[in-house]
Structure 1
């Protein structure tokens, strides 16, 4: 089932480690990776894609040395291989203009400000991953135990009605 990638990008190692620790409950069913730069994130995405994995969720800081998180999320949105991925901006420094740009041009799915609670992050990630699977995974049943069971079962029922089973 590990053909989907959750990628966390933050140039501060302690923050990155904290995000990964908060999401390690998903590690049994998803590839969970961390990157300290946009360049490293691009390498991880390319490697995952070469192994047949898709980027399901990216959590990205905004203020980073070589490229802002928002410009990276826009890049991912504009790439047909990563456009469908769920995008979460995790930052304490993005202003209103930056956030509006991310929403309008990167199809930002969620904005979470620092500091966050681990429980809040897990709930948001579960919600975003559930929606990603409903939108992109033809075989939903295995995900019912891992993600939002009710939403997965509703989607399965809706699919049966749509296909006249």
Structure 2
């Protein structure tokens, strides 16, 4: 089974812990990790990729002391190893210009304003990860139990039908 990473980046430890707690039901099969800075997030991604894993989804705050979350998402969107990762901006401070920039240049898949509800966050992440495993995993079945199993089964069934023709 493919090793896939969900990475959350927020410089406020309390917020980061809350997000990690909210998405804990996705582990396993996903590896979930957190970083308090963009520099730390880059290292987590580098280490995970060195072990043969792949970044599947990143959830980043916008306003951080060392680098803006949007700039980080744009960088990830232009790197061959992370351009396919689903990107979610979770913030209460991004203005319209920043958000448009993230969508146009950063491959932003979703914008979620703070405060969020646990159910809303988990549903959005499940939807984006289901998209990811259907599009990029040779065998998305191991992820069906924690994601949208109906969509994954439908995709697998259609794939079998397509191969039969």
TM interval, shorter chain, is over 0.9
Q: Relative to structure 1, is the Cα distance of residues 15 and 2 closer, same or farther in structure 2, using a 3 angstrom cutoff?
A: farther
Matched residue, 1:31 = 31
CA–CA distance in 1 between the matches of 2:101 and 2:9? 19
Bigger shift: residues 120-129 or 141-150: 141-150
Q: List 4+ stretches of structure 1 deviating above 6 A.
A: none
Matched residue, 2:74 = 74
Equivalent runs, 1:98-109 vs 2, <5 Å: 98-109=98-109
CA–CA distance in 1 between the matches of 2:23 and 2:145? 16
Equivalent runs, 1:148-163 vs 2, <5 Å: 148-163=148-163
Structure 1 residues without counterparts, runs of 5 or longer: none
> Superposition RMSD on alpha carbons, in Å?
1.1
Kindly tell me the number of residue pairs found equivalent between the two proteins: 165
CA–CA distance in 1 between the matches of 2:127 and 2:118? 14
Contact 1:2 1:29 in 2 (8 A): no
CA–CA distance in 1 between the matches of 2:86 and 2:140? 17
TM-score (norm 1): 0.97
Q: Relative to structure 1, is the Cα distance of residues 20 and 2 closer, same or farther in structure 2, using a 3 angstrom cutoff?
A: farther
TM-score (norm 2): 0.97
CA–CA distance in 1 between the matches of 2:140 and 2:17? 30
Contact 1:6 1:32 in 2 (8 A): yes
How far has the Cα of 1:2 moved from its partner? 6.4
